[in-house]
Amino acid sequence: MQREGEITFARKASGLVRGLSFWDAFGIGFMNQGLTPSIWVMISLGLGVYLGGNLIIATILSVVMVGIGFPIIWGVLGGSMPRSGGEYIYNSRILHPLLGIGESFGNAFIWLMWIYVLAPWMADPGAVMLSQFMGWEWLYNPETETFLGGLSYSWGAFVIASIASVIAFSLVAFGIKIFARAQKVVMTLGLLGTMVIVVVLFMYSKQDFVTAWNTMAAEHGSLSYDEFITAAGAAAGTAMPTTWNWSDTLGVMVAGSWLFAYSYCITFIAGEVKRPDKTIMFSNLWAIIVPGVFMILVAIGLYRLVDFDFLSASAWVDNNGGIEGYNMPFSSHFVGLAAVVMHNKILLFLMALSFILFCLWWVALSYLAFPRIIFAWGMDRMGPKWFTDVNARFASPIKNYILCLLLGEALIALYVFWQNEHMQGLSVTALEIFSVFGVTAIAAAVFPFSKRAKHIWEASPYRRWKLFGVPVVTLGAVVAIAYLVLLAVYFFIMPTNLEGFTFTTGMLILGTWVLGIAWYFFWTWRTKRTAGISTGMLTGELPPE
């Protein structure tokens, strides 16, 4: 006999298969932290704005706050409602379907924006870095600013980003098992490259670096070590700080969130992992700890290799596209600093490859998440029924992947030919803080007390998890909210020259919510009219597996 809920949902079963292990889930969470490029973001985009930030302290604070809050939130919610589709399931059941669609619409847009921002990073900094290290002018020629043997910068970046997008699509669309196997290979090679960077930073002394820098600067007619610090300070309009301060250290945590807050991607495949009650929480935790260890090692290596003011200067210069007199053969990002003292071509190749591979997998994970978000909408009749079509051979929503590919290509073109700016990645972060992490943290905090989700909480394996009589999920949510408030404050009080950037980001957040709410009312009306089913009936229980 069928239950009423199985009739009202768009499908009687999702068609997705529980075949992913703990290590597969860890890999998804860890790879969505984007190890090497996220270290670059924390240093160049974070320290490049907050010049007096202490990378070690910022990392420790992030690991503690995120490591307590996020695994508890996503683990308890994902283990209690183990369905693929991410936080839409949780927020629509605990809070209200309007809020669920409102924030989830923003998150769907976020995953498309990650393709928009990160696929072009395969070209710059990725291919640019590789060509600089290897001397491959056929890949990128700095004199003519051309890619691939003659394509203009914009067209070359578009071609490389499009190739990356198609590869990512191919790795995900034809089944989760193919994706999981490929992920192990990419993760191994990416980790190897990051390990090489760490070893290089510890192999040499500060004197070795200064000597190597000055020698290279003389060869290329560039600024010496001391001249570089002075010139960067003049260009920035402020002397580079020689020590850290608390305010800037907290500010660096905004960009540092890329390394720690994004393992929640695991919940998008919650309906496809074995033992979700344990797997989601603990794989999430380890996907936070491992990047934290690497970031601390990189920070220690950099602080022992260069002076504090030099590191801040290098971050500012890289974030601002260079300064007059800087003619070194590669950019001043942290990988470039390692390349000053390490000239082995094989090791340089692995270092650059690590950046490229993590960017590629970011794009692949967008293809994993976006289709499952709209799949979850479709199951609740909050979108066209074809959102729930699952290919029987590959057990994956192929049509949703194709939609993601088409939208991703359009957005890549928009980024490359019109809005090519690395800082846009932080706009996506702000959108995620408010639309995804913030709303879901509130849902987690009230989960044990929600009348709408009372039957789900009573069946949850975590219902007896309490500390001093307070549900552990509520305590974890409080820690997560404190972290998110900190990020929000330091995003919107950035230096005055970025006021326009933060205002545009605020409008982006508002716009996605307006569109999401409009989507909700349209599909609520249409479902009631065509099927005679209310949204409240659908979101009163979990969709079938």
Q: What is the pLDDT of residues 297-323, one digit of tens each?
A: 999 999 999 999 999 999 999 999 889
CA distance 518 to 541: 23
* Res. 423: pLDDT tops 70: no
* Res. 538: pLDDT tops 80: no
Determine the 3-state secondary structure of 16 from DSSP: coil
CA distance 147 to 209: 31
pLDDT value at residue 20: 73
Backbone phi, psi, residue 542, to 5°: -75, 145
CA distances from 21 to 83, 239, 241, 290 (A): 16, 51, 47, 18
CA distance 543 to 84: 10
Per-domain residue ranges of the chain: 4-538
CA distance 357 to 139: 17
* Residue partners of 158: CB distance under 8 A and separation at least 6: 120, 412, 413, 416, 417
Which stretch of 116-125, 327-336, 376-385, 404-413 has the lowest confidence by average pLDDT? 376-385
The reported pTM is: 0.89
CA distance 517 to 97: 10
Q: What is the pLDDT of residues 228-242, one digit of tens each?
A: 999 999 999 999 999
Which stretch of 13-17, 89-93, 124-128, 379-383 has the lowest confidence by average pLDDT? 13-17
**CATH topology for the 4-538 domain:** Amino acid/polyamine transporter I (1.20.1740)
pLDDT value at residue 3: 43
Q: What is the pLDDT of residues 338-390, one digit of tens each?
A: 999 999 999 999 999 999 999 999 999 999 889 888 988 888 888 888 888 88
Q: Decide if 120 contacts 412 (C-beta within 8 A).
A: yes
CB atoms within 10 A of CB 424: 18
* Res. 528: pLDDT tops 60: yes
- E-only strand ranges, 324-382: none
CA distance 240 to 315: 11
Task: Please name the residue that has the structure tokens 């000053």.
Answer: 340
